[in-house]
Amino acid sequence: MANVTLKKIAETLGISTATASKALKDYADISNETKRKVRELAQQLNYKPNSFAQSLRNQESKIIGLIAPQIVHHFFANIIKGVIDAAEAKGYLVIILQSGESYETEKKQLQLLLEKNVDGILISLSDRTVNYKHVADIIKEGIPVVLYDKISKLLDCSKVIIDDRKAAYNATKYLIETGCKNIAHIRGPLKPQTTIDRFLGYKKALSDHGLDFKDQLVFETKNLSFEDGYEIADRILATSDPIDGVFAFTDLLATGALIRFNEKGLKIPEDISIIGFSNWFLTKITTPSLSTVNQPGYEMGQKAFQLLLKEIRNKRENKESTKEIVEIPTTIIPRNSTKPRLITEKTNN
């Protein structure tokens, strides 16, 4: 990459790459004016020559970097496993970093990975990332980058996603088909795309089935934690609407609510139905077991690595890479926290 950028600097300024390189290294035979111009442009292009990394840059390190918002997380752990398995099969090792949902950490970690001369980067954006320049700069430099799960539509790179809107639509539709009429939604923070999309899917399913959308039936959470779900269950029970169904943004939120409904003596699903999202392991062991949307993490991880590998190979052969957006299909997993469907048969899983 370094060389592509150096070439670009040279072309832009109408000098040779040798002169550009010498200018950056402060050679005496280059004029101060040229040095200044080269340095300024290098800065604009985010070109950071590093003697150690630079000497290696034409060699592949056969190491890729992966940034996840969280690691102690059933879904992301599955993605990581998918990536590691696929990478190892092709002779690549994976450096794992956790941004902890912090934009600043994410930014710093991208630089750390570049300094280690990784061949490519897989990243799922933190929920607090709303400015994407740190990722766009790297893509512009030509480093293979693939976004997975938490993406931004503003970034021009390959992506592996699920159709959150469709999945949320289907989950809400499922509650409606099992007889729910007043469906609450426990949503995530306002900004991340996944939260927006799941909210919109929920809203559309209501209107497509002749149910009113009510603002007061949407509950926002900050941390997407078990505790958040537990606490919101109390708020759901305190509304004047007779809520008979809950679509939660994640299984963890759904589980928190389910436990609290149990404590309050509600019958699930007779009094209130709940559907989660992700199909974490914990959905099988709650009482009753939790209906959910299966989000295949392992498969997403494998696909993300495949896309990255394709870009790494294209780069090696100086070929352009077409950016691909791969959508992994989701399915509804009916369990015992929802009633049987009114029309079609319930399949158990």
Question: Which residues contact a second copy (rule: CB under 8 A)?
Answer: 52, 59, 61-63, 65, 71-74, 77-78, 80-81, 84-85, 88, 93-98, 109, 112-113, 116, 226, 255, 259, 262, 281-282, 284-287
Distance in angstroms (rounded) separating the CA atoms of residues 349 and 336? 9
Closest CA to 188 of 262, 319, 261, 278: 278
Q: Which is nearer to a second copy, 98 or 330 (CB)?
A: 98
Q: Which is nearer to a second copy, 206 or 328 (CB)?
A: 328
Q: Assess contact for 94 and 304: CB atoms under 8 A.
A: no
Distance in angstroms (rounded) separating the CA atoms of residues 171 and 249? 10
Q: Which is nearer to a second copy, 41 or 67 (CB)?
A: 67
Q: Find the shortest distance in angstroms from Cβ 226 to a second copy.
A: 7
**Angle separating helix axes 2-13 and 32-44, nearest 10 degrees:** 130
Q: Find the shortest distance in angstroms from Cβ 154 to a second copy.
A: 27
**What sign has the CA pseudo-torsion 331, 334, 337, 340?**
positive
247 - beta bridge partners? 185, 275
Q: Which is nearer to a second copy, 15 or 266 (CB)?
A: 266
Q: Find the shortest distance in angstroms from Cβ 199 to a second copy.
A: 25
Q: Find the shortest distance in angstroms from Cβ 250 to a second copy.
A: 13
Q: Which is nearer to a second copy, 29 or 281 (CB)?
A: 281
Q: Find the shortest distance in angstroms from Cβ 182 to a second copy.
A: 26
Q: Assess contact for 161 and 326: CB atoms under 8 A.
A: yes
Q: Which is nearer to a second copy, 47 or 230 (CB)?
A: 230
Beta strands 120-123 and 292-294: pairing type? unpaired
Q: Find the shortest distance in angstroms from Cβ 256 to a second copy.
A: 9
Query: Would you list the DSSP string of 58-86?
Result: TS---EEEEEES-SSSHHHHHHHHHHHHH
